[in-house]
Amino acid sequence: MRKLWTLLLVLVLALFTSNIVVYAQDNAESTEATTQDEQAPAEDEEVEVAPAASAADAVEIEQVAGYQLLKKYFIDGSWQFMSLVLVCLIFGLAFAIERIITLNIATVNTEKLLARIDENLKSGDVNGAMEVCKSTQGPTASILYEGLKQAKDGPESVEKAIVSYGSVQMGLLEKGLVWLSLFIALAPMLGFMGTVIGMISAFDRIEAVGDISPTVVAGGIKVALLTTVFGLVVAIILQVFYNYIISKIDGIVNKMEDASIALVDILAANGIFKK
């Protein structure tokens, strides 16, 4: 189910990305055509004055201004290159959301779980305690289940089983974080590469024109700055998700360790090791 939701998220974000890229292509082509066909108006030509915008129009303009400005900067930063940064954001968010969903499902109330296990062990029903763990989702319940399986062999076997299986569960909790780290590092690197490409373009224009006026180099420098900004913004967003996921994993691991220690105490208190 989690994989299905992640796949749907990727498809929606990919569709959104394709719409932006197509819009960027069309807008770039129309802007270029308009610039080539534009002619200066005649001196005697009457210029029509646009009527003042109403209050409703002003509100509507404010609502779409942010989105339009984002698309404008996306296009100005060279949409071919900015698409790579956007892809990093899409896949990074997909991995982050999948981890958040998984970790929320893995979170369990360990106090209630241990209380239910204790109730079964007081009557000597180890199998009943194992069924409680088996019917509970999350890595904590899985680790306690493995410990209960070795209860008949003594506390050393229980601790060994918990430690061994705990390493497996730790790896499952951190699954996919390496890809999230990759996109966090890749986004600013792509931005810096865009900076270098933009500066090269600016110097190429200076060489071709033989002039260092601001109008000649402004385009290349603007591309350089925009790609860097977008790359850093993507990295910052993904880094926030990454730190949240790490803190979530640390909380689950701490609960796993506390529950494991408590399980050994419960087994000893109910005399399971003596049987």
pLDDT tens, position by position, 90-148: 999 999 999 999 888 888 888 888 888 888 888 888 888 888 888 888 888 888 888 88
Q: Would you say the pTM of this structure is higher than 0.75?
A: no
pLDDT digit string, tens, across residues 160-193: 888 888 888 888 888 889 999 999 999 899 888 8
Q: What is the mean pLDDT of the chain?
A: 75
Residue 257: how many other CB atoms lie within 10 Å = 14
Residue 12: how many other CB atoms lie within 10 Å = 12
Least confident of 148-162, 167-181, 206-220: 206-220
Confidence tier at 31 by pLDDT (50, 70, 90): very low
Confidence tier at 74 by pLDDT (50, 70, 90): low
Confidence tier at 275 by pLDDT (50, 70, 90): low
pLDDT reported for residue 270: 77
Q: What is the percent of the chain where pLDDT is above 70? A: 66
pLDDT reported for residue 100: 92
Residues with Cβ within 8 Å of residue 197, at least 6 apart in sequence = 81, 223, 224, 227
Phi-psi region of 96 (alpha: psi -120 to 50; beta: other; left: phi over 0): alpha
pLDDT digit string, tens, across residues 102-114: 888 888 888 888 8
pLDDT reported for residue 38: 43
Q: For Cα atoms 174, 176, 182, give the angle at the middle one, nearest 5 degrees.
A: 115
